[in-house]
Amino acid sequence: MIKFTDIKIGDDVTFYALIENMQKRFTPNKSGYYGATLSDGDSSIDARIWDCSLIETKDVTAGNVYRFTAHVNEYAGKAQYVIKNIELVEDGEIDTSKFFKAAPLSKDELNKGIKSYLKKITNPILYKLAVNLIAKVAPEYFEYPAAMSMHHNYFNGLAYHIYSMLELASKFVQTYPGMNSDLLYAGVLLHDIGKTKELTGPKTPLYTEQGNLLGHIVIGLQMLANEAAAQNVENTEEYMALSHLIAAHHGELEYGSPKEPVIMEAFALHFIDLADSKMAPISAEVLKTKKGTSSAPIASLGRKSIYVPNIE
Amino acid sequence: MIKFTDIKIGDDVTFYALIENMQKRFTPNKSGYYGATLSDGDSSIDARIWDCSLIETKDVTAGNVYRFTAHVNEYAGKAQYVIKNIELVEDGEIDTSKFFKAAPLSKDELNKGIKSYLKKITNPILYKLAVNLIAKVAPEYFEYPAAMSMHHNYFNGLAYHIYSMLELASKFVQTYPGMNSDLLYAGVLLHDIGKTKELTGPKTPLYTEQGNLLGHIVIGLQMLANEAAAQNVENTEEYMALSHLIAAHHGELEYGSPKEPVIMEAFALHFIDLADSKMAPISAEVLKTKKGTSSAPIASLGRKSIYVPNIE
Amino acid sequence: MIKFTDIKIGDDVTFYALIENMQKRFTPNKSGYYGATLSDGDSSIDARIWDCSLIETKDVTAGNVYRFTAHVNEYAGKAQYVIKNIELVEDGEIDTSKFFKAAPLSKDELNKGIKSYLKKITNPILYKLAVNLIAKVAPEYFEYPAAMSMHHNYFNGLAYHIYSMLELASKFVQTYPGMNSDLLYAGVLLHDIGKTKELTGPKTPLYTEQGNLLGHIVIGLQMLANEAAAQNVENTEEYMALSHLIAAHHGELEYGSPKEPVIMEAFALHFIDLADSKMAPISAEVLKTKKGTSSAPIASLGRKSIYVPNIE
Amino acid sequence: MIKFTDIKIGDDVTFYALIENMQKRFTPNKSGYYGATLSDGDSSIDARIWDCSLIETKDVTAGNVYRFTAHVNEYAGKAQYVIKNIELVEDGEIDTSKFFKAAPLSKDELNKGIKSYLKKITNPILYKLAVNLIAKVAPEYFEYPAAMSMHHNYFNGLAYHIYSMLELASKFVQTYPGMNSDLLYAGVLLHDIGKTKELTGPKTPLYTEQGNLLGHIVIGLQMLANEAAAQNVENTEEYMALSHLIAAHHGELEYGSPKEPVIMEAFALHFIDLADSKMAPISAEVLKTKKGTSSAPIASLGRKSIYVPNIE
Amino acid sequence: MIKFTDIKIGDDVTFYALIENMQKRFTPNKSGYYGATLSDGDSSIDARIWDCSLIETKDVTAGNVYRFTAHVNEYAGKAQYVIKNIELVEDGEIDTSKFFKAAPLSKDELNKGIKSYLKKITNPILYKLAVNLIAKVAPEYFEYPAAMSMHHNYFNGLAYHIYSMLELASKFVQTYPGMNSDLLYAGVLLHDIGKTKELTGPKTPLYTEQGNLLGHIVIGLQMLANEAAAQNVENTEEYMALSHLIAAHHGELEYGSPKEPVIMEAFALHFIDLADSKMAPISAEVLKTKKGTSSAPIASLGRKSIYVPNIE
Amino acid sequence: MIKFTDIKIGDDVTFYALIENMQKRFTPNKSGYYGATLSDGDSSIDARIWDCSLIETKDVTAGNVYRFTAHVNEYAGKAQYVIKNIELVEDGEIDTSKFFKAAPLSKDELNKGIKSYLKKITNPILYKLAVNLIAKVAPEYFEYPAAMSMHHNYFNGLAYHIYSMLELASKFVQTYPGMNSDLLYAGVLLHDIGKTKELTGPKTPLYTEQGNLLGHIVIGLQMLANEAAAQNVENTEEYMALSHLIAAHHGELEYGSPKEPVIMEAFALHFIDLADSKMAPISAEVLKTKKGTSSAPIASLGRKSIYVPNIE
Could you tell me if B253 and A254 are in contact, meaning their C-beta atoms sit under 8 angstroms apart? Answer: yes
Using DSSP bridges, classify how beta strands E78-88 and E44-49 pair: parallel, antiparallel or unpaired.
parallel
Mean pLDDT for A78-100 is 84
Tally E–F CB contacts below 8 A: 88
Most confident among A300-304, D214-218, D303-307 (mean pLDDT): D214-218
Most confident among A143-157, A281-295, E67-81 (mean pLDDT): A281-295
Q: What is the pLDDT of residue A35?
A: 85
- Residue E257: phi and psi, rounded to 5, are -85, 125
pLDDT above 80: residue B33: yes
Mean pLDDT for E245-252 is 98
- Range with the poorest average pLDDT among C289-303, E252-266, E271-285: C289-303
- Which chain D residue has the Cα nearest residue F268? D279
> How distant, in Å, are the alpha carbons of E18, E157, E160 from that of E42?
11, 18, 21
d(CA F46, CA F59): 20
Cα of F80 vs its chain's centroid, Å: 30
Q: What is the pLDDT of residue D147?
A: 85
Mean pLDDT for A19-42 is 77
pLDDT above 80: residue C77: no
What confidence category does residue F30 fall into, taking pLDDT thresholds of 50, 70 and 90? low
As a residue count, chain B comes to: 312
Beta bridge mates, E86: E68
Residues of D with CB below 8 A from E76's CB? 76
d(CA A17, CA A83): 12
- Range with the poorest average pLDDT among A20-24, A128-132, C204-208, C288-292: A20-24
Could you tell me if C222 and C196 are in contact, meaning their C-beta atoms sit under 8 angstroms apart? Answer: no
Residue A126 CB-density burial (10 A; 0-12 exposed, 13-18 middle, 19+ buried)? buried
The answer to whether F226 contacts E229, with C-beta atoms less than 8 Å apart, is yes
| Most B CBs within 10 Å, among E4, E6, E8, to test the B interface | E8
d(CA D133, CA D223): 8
Tally of CB atoms within 10 A around F9: 15
- Residue C254: phi and psi, rounded to 5, are -65, -10
pLDDT above 80: residue A215: yes
Q: What is the pLDDT of residue B66?
A: 92
The answer to whether E7 contacts B28, with C-beta atoms less than 8 Å apart, is yes
The ipTM of this complex is 0.85
A221 min Cα distance to partner chain B (Å) = 7
- Range with the poorest average pLDDT among A92-106, E116-130, F169-183: A92-106
Tally of CB atoms within 10 A around C244: 29
| Most C CBs within 10 Å, among A209, A213, A214, to test the C interface | A209
**Subunits that touch chain B (at least 3 Cβ pairs < 8 angstroms)?**
A, C, D, E
Contact between chain D and chain A (3 or more Cβ pairs less than 8 Å apart): no
| Nearest to C136, CA basis, from C193, C218, C209 | C193
- Which chain B residue has the Cα nearest residue A226? B226
Of A8, A78, A307, the CB nearest to F212: A307
Beta bridge mates, C18: C39, C65
Could you tell me if E190 and E166 are in contact, meaning their C-beta atoms sit under 8 angstroms apart? Answer: no
Of E28, E209, E212, the CB nearest to D8: E28
pLDDT above 70: residue C251: yes
Query: What average pLDDT does chain C have?
Result: 91
Q: What is the dihedral of CA B5, B10, B12, B14, to 10 degrees?
A: 20
pLDDT digits (tens, 9 = 90+) for B261-302: 999 999 999 999 999 999 999 999 999 899 999 998 888 898
pLDDT above 60: residue E182: yes
As a residue count, chain F comes to: 312
User: What's at C3, amino acid-wise?
Assistant: K
d(CA D242, CA D219): 14
What confidence category does residue B21 fall into, taking pLDDT thresholds of 50, 70 and 90? confident
Using DSSP bridges, classify how beta strands A65-75 and A78-88 pair: parallel, antiparallel or unpaired.
antiparallel
What is the C-alpha end-to-end distance of chain A, expressed in Å? Answer: 37
Beta bridge mates, E22: E36
Q: What is the pLDDT of residue C30?
A: 60
- Range with the poorest average pLDDT among B291-305, C249-263, D154-168, D225-239: B291-305
Query: What average pLDDT does chain D have?
Result: 91
Q: What is the pLDDT of residue C101?
A: 82
The answer to whether E257 contacts F258, with C-beta atoms less than 8 Å apart, is yes
The answer to whether A78 contacts F30, with C-beta atoms less than 8 Å apart, is no
d(CA E198, CA B234): 59
D285 min Cα distance to partner chain C (Å) = 31
Could you tell me if B236 and B227 are in contact, meaning their C-beta atoms sit under 8 angstroms apart? Answer: no
> How distant, in Å, are the alpha carbons of B309, C54, E282 from that of E296?
46, 80, 10
What confidence category does residue A28 fall into, taking pLDDT thresholds of 50, 70 and 90? low
**Subunits that touch chain D (at least 3 Cβ pairs < 8 angstroms)?**
B, C, E, F
- Range with the poorest average pLDDT among D146-150, D257-261, F198-202, F274-278: D146-150
E202 min Cα distance to partner chain A (Å) = 24
Q: What is the pLDDT of residue F299?
A: 84
Mean pLDDT for E268-278 is 97
d(CA F240, CA A191): 49
User: What's at D202, amino acid-wise?
Assistant: P
Of C29, C30, C76, the CB nearest to F76: C76
pLDDT above 70: residue D142: yes
Of B7, B77, B307, the CB nearest to D212: B307
* F83: helix, strand or coil: strand
Cα torsion angle, F40, F43, F49, F55, sign? positive
| D304 in contact with chain F, both atoms CB, cutoff 8 A | yes
Share of residues in chain A with pLDDT > 70 (%): 96
- Which chain D residue has the Cα nearest residue B77? D27
Contact between chain E and chain C (3 or more Cβ pairs less than 8 Å apart): no
F119 min Cα distance to partner chain D (Å) = 16
pLDDT top residue among E205 and F252: F252
d(CA A264, CA D94): 67
Q: What is the pLDDT of residue C132?
A: 97
pLDDT above 80: residue A26: no
Residues of B with CB below 8 A from C306's CB? 262-264, 267
Residues of F with CB below 8 A from D309's CB? 180, 183, 237-238, 240-241, 263
- Residue F18: phi and psi, rounded to 5, are -90, 135
Residues of A (60-79) whose Cβ lies below 8 Å from F: 76-79
| Most B CBs within 10 Å, among C160, C283, C305, to test the B interface | C283
Largest CA distance in chain B: 71
Most confident among A243-252, A285-294, B67-76, C101-110 (mean pLDDT): A243-252
Mean pLDDT for B124-142 is 97
Residue A215 CB-density burial (10 A; 0-12 exposed, 13-18 middle, 19+ buried)? buried
**Subunits that touch chain A (at least 3 Cβ pairs < 8 angstroms)?**
B, C, E, F
Tally A–F CB contacts below 8 A: 16
Query: What average pLDDT does chain E have?
Result: 91
Of C28, C209, C213, the CB nearest to F79: C28
pLDDT above 80: residue E207: yes
| Nearest to E115, CA basis, from E136, E137, E135 | E135
pLDDT above 60: residue F96: yes
| Nearest to D19, CA basis, from D53, D54, D52, D44 | D44
Contact between chain C and chain B (3 or more Cβ pairs less than 8 Å apart): yes
What is the C-alpha end-to-end distance of chain C, expressed in Å? Answer: 37
DSSP letters along D255-282, please? Answer: GT-SS---SHHHHHHHHHHHHHHHHHHH
Q: What is the pLDDT of residue E179?
A: 97
| Nearest to F112, CA basis, from F150, F38, F186, F166 | F166
- Which chain F residue has the Cα nearest residue A4? F28
Tally of CB atoms within 10 A around A254: 12
DSSP letters along A38-85, please? Answer: EE-SS-EEEEEE--THHHHTTT--TTSEEEEEEEEEEETTEEEEEEEE
Contact between chain B and chain F (3 or more Cβ pairs less than 8 Å apart): no
DSSP A311: -
Mean pLDDT for A154-179 is 96
| Most C CBs within 10 Å, among B282, B290, B298, B308, to test the C interface | B282
Tally of CB atoms within 10 A around D212: 18
A167 min Cα distance to partner chain E (Å) = 8
Q: What per-residue string of b and e applies to D79-108 under the rule 16 or more CB within 10 Å gives b?
A: bbbebbebeeeeeeeeeeeebbbbbebeee
Using DSSP bridges, classify how beta strands A44-49 and A78-88 pair: parallel, antiparallel or unpaired.
parallel
d(CA E307, CA E226): 47
- Range with the poorest average pLDDT among A187-201, D110-124, F98-112: F98-112
* D250: helix, strand or coil: coil
d(CA A127, CA F32): 59
pLDDT above 70: residue A29: no
Q: What is the pLDDT of residue D240?
A: 98
Residues of F (5-64) whose Cβ lies below 8 Å from D: none
**Subunits that touch chain E (at least 3 Cβ pairs < 8 angstroms)?**
A, B, D, F
- Range with the poorest average pLDDT among A283-287, C256-260, D199-203: D199-203
Q: Please, how many CA atoms are within 13 Å of residue A174, restricted to the half-sphere of its CB?
A: 12
Mean pLDDT for B12-16 is 92
Residues of E with CB below 8 A from D70's CB? none
pLDDT top residue among C133 and C84: C133
Of A168, A182, A306, the CB nearest to E264: A306
Residues of E with CB below 8 A from D9's CB? 28-29
d(CA A39, CA A21): 10
pLDDT above 70: residue A76: no
B221 min Cα distance to partner chain E (Å) = 22
d(CA C273, CA C257): 13
Q: Please, how many CA atoms are within 13 Å of residue B50, restricted to the half-sphere of its CB?
A: 8
Residues of C with CB below 8 A from D213's CB? 240-241, 243-244, 259, 262-263
Could you tell me if F189 and F118 are in contact, meaning their C-beta atoms sit under 8 angstroms apart? Answer: yes
pLDDT above 60: residue C107: yes
Beta bridge mates, D86: D68
Tally A–E CB contacts below 8 A: 132
Mean pLDDT for E2-15 is 87
Mean pLDDT for D129-145 is 96
pLDDT digits (tens, 9 = 90+) for F32-48: 788 888 888 777 788 88
Q: What per-residue string of b and e applies to C151-179 under the rule 16 or more CB within 10 Å gives b?
A: bbbbbbbbbbbbbbbbbbbbbbbebbebb
DSSP letters along B152-212, please? Answer: S-SBTHHHHHHHHHHHHHHHHHHHSTT--HHHHHHHHHHTTTTHHHHBS-SSS--B-HHHH
Could you tell me if D38 and D17 are in contact, meaning their C-beta atoms sit under 8 angstroms apart? Answer: yes
What confidence category does residue F29 fall into, taking pLDDT thresholds of 50, 70 and 90? low
Could you tell me if A191 and A270 are in contact, meaning their C-beta atoms sit under 8 angstroms apart? Answer: no
pLDDT above 70: residue F171: yes
Q: What is the pLDDT of residue F183?
A: 98
pLDDT digits (tens, 9 = 90+) for F223-242: 999 999 999 999 999 999 99
Mean pLDDT for D183-193 is 98
The answer to whether C307 contacts A76, with C-beta atoms less than 8 Å apart, is no
| E307 in contact with chain B, both atoms CB, cutoff 8 A | yes
What is the C-alpha end-to-end distance of chain E, expressed in Å? Answer: 36
d(CA D228, CA D133): 10
User: What's at E123, amino acid-wise?
Assistant: N
Mean pLDDT for B174-197 is 97
- Range with the poorest average pLDDT among B197-206, C72-81, C130-139, E238-247: C72-81
D114 min Cα distance to partner chain F (Å) = 15
C299 min Cα distance to partner chain D (Å) = 22
pLDDT above 90: residue D59: no
The answer to whether C210 contacts D240, with C-beta atoms less than 8 Å apart, is yes
pLDDT top residue among F7 and F210: F210
Share of residues in chain D with pLDDT > 90 (%): 62
pLDDT top residue among A77 and C115: C115
What predicted TM-score, i.e. pTM, was given to this entire model? 0.88
d(CA C198, CA C201): 9
